[in-house]
Amino acid sequence: MLNLTQRIEQYIREDVRELRPYAVQPSAGMVKLDAMENPFRLPLELQRELGERLGAVAINRYPGERIEVLRAALAKHSRMPDGQALMLGNGSDELISLLAMACKLPGAAILAPTPGFVMYEMSAELQAMNFVGVPLQPGTLELDEPAMLAAIEQHRPALIYIAYPNNPTGNLFDDAIIERIIAAAPGLVVIDEAYQPFASKSYVDRYARHDHVLLMRTLSKFGLAGVRLGYMMGRRELIEQIEKVRPPYNVSVLNCEAALFALEHEDEFARQARVLRAERQRLFDALGTMPGVHPYPSEANMILVRVPDAQRTFEGMKQRKVLIKSVGRSTSPLLANCVRLTVGSPEENDLMIAALRESL
């Protein structure tokens, strides 16, 4: 009879056993500025309205026609072009996993600039696909066009991810370079606009010119991180194929109704985004006055900051009850001694600025 350790070794894939789980930092009692969340809750009146609405949802039934209502509302909200279709996911994480599942062929690769969103690489590993990371340019953290094009030619990837803006660097890559990458791509290209509410521009008016390009978004940064809802737009014929690997009831009735409620009150979330964009600039300006600190310009709700000692800064701020993300230990040498600061409320940012000054 096998013991549990032997059963795990015999029946759990070796590459899965070697994976490191996605880490979520304990945050009780902390000013939580490590996960690019919207810091604002709904006003009390809207909280009451949402509670009553969710209380009336038929949770005894599987999701039904309201999912189609949500799909139509998101298409309108995002100004989806004609000829496109929209697919829903339990967060954009699920969509990334489903894309890898749909595109898994012998020897298939996923390519993305690095550093970038960790789920691109993780989705490749979980599907036993090759992941090709192409480092950004040192110093500027912009796309390395010659290296990207050479990697595309060599590896012929099934999927290419371009985050717009990028995580964790926060920058919008050059549109002309993106277009040349799209032209060179043998497979599919995904423009990931997770941070679109905070960016000065979107790719929504350009992606549909290409039949092999998908545009992916999430409502997490919109203000619904707890709802877990992502969506992806693309040519109808392409979305229909990817839909085949989607679980039939992947979006719950509660998630659906909460998202519809938020879209009906999108003016409130737009107001919150305006506050966060203003706070981002205030935070950036304050960082620029600190000796030894280099903030990178951002179009997202976070700022990447190079400091003299990332681990010391992280620990010092944690002692002062401010939780940030240390990316200095990342596998990318481009992020040596970097931390990532989520843009919080004005009060949270005041505390973060003070804690950072004291921790340097």
What pLDDT was estimated at residue 330? 66
- Say what percent of the chain tops pLDDT 90: 90
Query: What pLDDT score was predicted for residue 356?
Result: 97
Say if residue 196 is in the same domain as residue 110. yes
pTM of the predicted model, to two decimals?
Answer: 0.94
CATH code (residue 119): 3.40.640.10
Tell me, yes or no, whether 121 and 168 share the same domain. yes
> Does residue 329 register a pLDDT over 70?
no
> Are 276 and 256 within one domain?
no
- Last residue in a domain, options 231, 264, 297: 264
| DSSP-derived 3-state class of residue 138 | coil
Residues 300 and 152 in one domain: no
For residue 84, is it within any domain? yes
Q: Give domain status of residue 8, yes or no.
A: no
The verdict on 27 and 142 lying in the same domain is no
Q: Is residue 104 part of a domain?
A: yes
160 and 138 together in one domain? yes
- Whether the pLDDT of residue 9 is over 70: the answer is yes
Of 219, 246, 264, which residue sits at a domain end? 264
- Judgement on whether residues 293 and 206 belong to the same structural domain of the protein: no
What mean pLDDT comes out for the span 137-154? 97
The separation between CA 138 and the C-alpha centre of its own chain, rounded to angstroms, equals 22
Query: Is 302 found in the same domain as 256?
Result: no
Query: Looking at the domain assignment, is residue 175 inside a domain?
Result: yes
> pLDDT by residue (tens digit) across 228-270?
999 999 999 999 999 999 999 999 999 999 999 999 999 999 9
Task: State mean pLDDT over 5-22.
Answer: 86
Q: 280 in a domain, yes or no?
A: yes
Most confident region among 15-19, 215-219, 220-224 by mean pLDDT:
215-219
Nearest to 131 by CA among 116, 145, 111: 111
CATH of the domain at 355: 3.90.1150.10
What does residue 243 show for φ and ψ, rounded to 5 degrees?
-55, -25
> Which residues make Cβ contacts (< 8 Å) with residue 344, sequence separation at least 6?
31, 33, 39, 279, 352
Across the chain, where does the E strand assignment appear? 31-32, 84-89, 109-114, 130-135, 159-163, 188-192, 213-218, 230-235, 294-295, 302-306, 322-323, 325-326, 338-342
| Domain match, 255 and 276 both | no
Q: Could you tell me if residue 12 is inside a domain?
A: no
Question: Mean of the pLDDT values across residues 283-307?
Answer: 97
Q: Where in the sequence is the domain holding 114, given as residue range(s)? A: 57-264
Last residue of a domain, one of 264, 299, 330: 264
pLDDT at 23 over 80: no
Token pair listed for 336: 């040596």
Statement to judge: residues 169 and 254 lie in one domain: yes
> Considering only CA atoms, which of 138, 110, 118, 96 is closest in space to residue 35?
118
Query: In the chain, how many domains are there?
Result: 2
Question: In this structure, are 225 and 273 located in the same domain?
Answer: no
**Which pLDDT score, from 0 to 100, does residue 25 have?**
83
Model confidence at 214, in pLDDT bands (50, 70, 90)? very high
Q: Is the peptide bond before 63 cis (omega within 30 degrees of 0)?
A: no
Tell me the average pLDDT across 83-111.
96
Helix, strand, coil in percent for the chain, rounding step 5: 45, 15, 40
Q: Are residues 168 and 315 in the same domain?
A: no
Contact 130, 258 (CB under 8 A): no
> What is the DSSP secondary-structure string of 94-110?
HHHHHHHHHH--TT-EE
Please indicate, yes or no, if residue 299 is contained in any of the structural domains: yes
- Cβ atoms of residues 285 and 352 within 8 Å: no
Q: Parallel, antiparallel, or unpaired: how do β-strands 338-342 and 302-306 relate?
A: antiparallel
Residue type, 141: L
pLDDT-based confidence at 331, cuts 50/70/90? low
Establish if 209 belongs to a structural domain.
Answer: yes
pLDDT tens-digit series, residues 57-78: 999 999 999 999 999 999 999 9
